[in-house]
Structure 1
C-alpha cells in the first residue's frame, strides 16, 4: 500500500461523514432554529425538502463532472459549497434580525435560509464522488470492503450528529450549526492538502448529452420497466411518507409536548443507533433467514406501528411512548430500505443494475422533497396529528404494492418455522 492510500481513504471517509453529519446535526433542531422566523409546518416542510430537491437535480451532473475532470476538484468544490451553505445558515440564525431596522419584519432571513439549504443540497453530491474515489483505489475483490466505509460513515453521521447537536444546543441552539460548518471546513482542508487525484487523465470520459443529465429521464426509464415498476413506485412512496412525517416530527414534539432541542435530538439519536445496528449487523442474517420480501413487509409493519404510537402520546407520558416509538420506526426503516433495494436489484440482469439503482437514489431524493411540504401543509390546515395518519395511509399503499408482487427468482421467503 502506498503512502497515499491511507490519506485517500481518510479523505473519502470524512467526506462521506461530513455529508451525513451536517444534515443530522441541523435537521432535528430546525423548529428551534426557525422559532424567531416562523412556526408553521409548511415553511418547515419546504425548508426540509429543499435540500433533497437540490441534491436530486445535480447529482447526475456531479457524477459526470468527476468522470470528466477528476474526483479531487469536484469533491473540493462540493465540500467548499457545503462550508458556504452551512456557514450562511449559521450566520442567518445567529443574527437578531429585529434589531436591524431595514430587515425587521421582512422575509430576508427565510430567503437566506432557503439559499443556504439549496447550496448545501447542491453540494451534497459528494457522497457519490467519494464512493467513486473508494472504487478507484480498490481492487475488484476488495471493493465490497471499501464500500463498507460508506455504511460506517453514514451510520456514524446519524449517531454523532444528533448526539453533538443535542449536547451543544444546551449551551446555545445555534452552536451545533457552527460546529457542522467547522467540521465541513476541516474536511475541505484535508481534501485540499491530502487527497490525491484517483481518476487518471487516460480514464476520463466525455460529458454526456444534456438529456442524459436530466434526472427525470432516468426515472422515466425505470418506470417503463414492468419488472421493477411496481417496486420502484413503492420505494418512492415509502420515502415520501417517511420523510413527510419525520419532517414535522420535531415541530410536533416542540408544540405538543413542550420538548426542548436536547430531548428532540436524543430521539433522533435513538433512530441513528437502531438503524445502524440493523443495517450494519442484523440485516444479513435476517435476510438469510426470512428473505427480502418478508422483511420488507415486516419493516413496513414496524414503521406503521411507530407512526401510530407517536400521536397517541401525551405530554405526561411522552418520553415513555415516543422513544420506543422512534426506535420501532428506525427498526422498520432499517429493514425496508436495503430489502426493497435488493428486491429491485434481483429483478434485473447485470446490464440494468447501475441505471436502476441510481434511479432509486433519485426516487428517494424526490420523495424526500415532496413528502415534507405535504406533511407541513396537513399539519397547518388539518391538524397536528394529520401527517401521521396521512403517512400511515400511504405506507399501507406501499405494503399493498409490495405484497402484490409475489417473490420471484432469488426472492425466497422461507418458512420461519
Structure 2
C-alpha cells in the first residue's frame, strides 16, 4: 500500500536518509498537490521549499525534443531530412563492423542520419547496455560529460567536430542508444534557427510558458534556492558532487540538450500542462501542433529495439525525448505515460489519457539506470490518488 499522503511518502525517504529533501508535484483534473520536505543540503542549513531549484539532468530531454519539433512545425526542419544539411561534421559517418569491434574497424553508413533518427535516439550514437565497447569509450573520453559537468565540456562546434571523428555503434535507424542524440539536437537547433540553443529555448519555450527558474545556469540572486547535489557512497553516506556556487553558477560553453538544465517543480509542470493541452500555452496560443505532441508521446521503437535497451527502458518504448510506457506487465508502468528520469535524482511524466502530471525532484544522484525506491513509491502514489 502506498503512503496515505504525499507528505508522508517524502518524509519516509528523508527520515531514512535516502535524500536530504525533495519536492514533489502531482496534478490531475485541475487539482495540483505539491509537497516540499526536508532540506536543500545534507547539513540541514536551508529548508526545502516549493520553488527550490534542482539540476534536472535528463528530464531536460523532453524540452529539447519540443524545441526541435517547433522547427519541424514551422518547416525549418523536416523529420526525414539528413542532418548533414546543418551538421556537415556528420555528413559521412562510419560505423563499427560490430558493436564490440575496435573503433578503427569500420564500414560506411548505409544512409544519412535524419532529424527523426536524433529524436528517436536511433542515429547510431549513444550508450548501449554494455559501456565497454571501444566506440562507446570514445564518447566518454573525447566528449566529456556534457550534462553533468557543464563547465568542462567543449563549445558546441568543437564538441561536434570531436563527435564526427567517432564511429557510429549501429547503422542509422537500426538501434536505440541513450543520451547523445539530445546533445546533437541542441547543436542542430542552434544552427537551424541561427541562434544559440539556450536563447532559442528561452525565447520559444521557457518565456512563453512562464518557466522563470529554468535555464542552463542559476543567477546569483537565486543561489539561495539552489540545492546541493550529492551521490551515495558505498558506506551509505552522501558525498557532495556540486554546490550552489559550483558548475551551474555561470553559463556553460555547451548548453546541453541532454541534461544541462536547472528547474523547479512548478516550471516543469508548466511544460507538462502544455503537452497535456495538445501544445497550447497558458494564453491558449499554440506553441506546438497537436501532431507534434502526438509524435513526441508515441512509442517509435519496435520490440527488438526495446528489448535490446532493457538496461534503460523498463517496460517502455521511446517517443521523442522521453520514454512511453507500453508494457502493462511491468508493475511500474502506466500505458501511455510519457516522460523520463534524470540521473541527478529527478523524474517527470505525464499521462495524456488521464491528464496527470507527476514530477519528483531530489538532489541525490541515481546509482544505476534502474529507478530508485523513492521514484517507484512516488509513481505508485501519483497513479492511485
User: Which interval holds the TM-score relative to the shorter structure?
Assistant: under 0.3
Give the TM-score of the pair, scaled to structure 2.
0.27
Give the TM-score of the pair, scaled to structure 1.
0.25
Tell which has more relative contact order, 1 or 2 (C-alpha 8 A, sep 6+).
Answer: 1
Greater radius of gyration (CA): 1
Greater fraction strand: 2
Greater fraction helix: 1
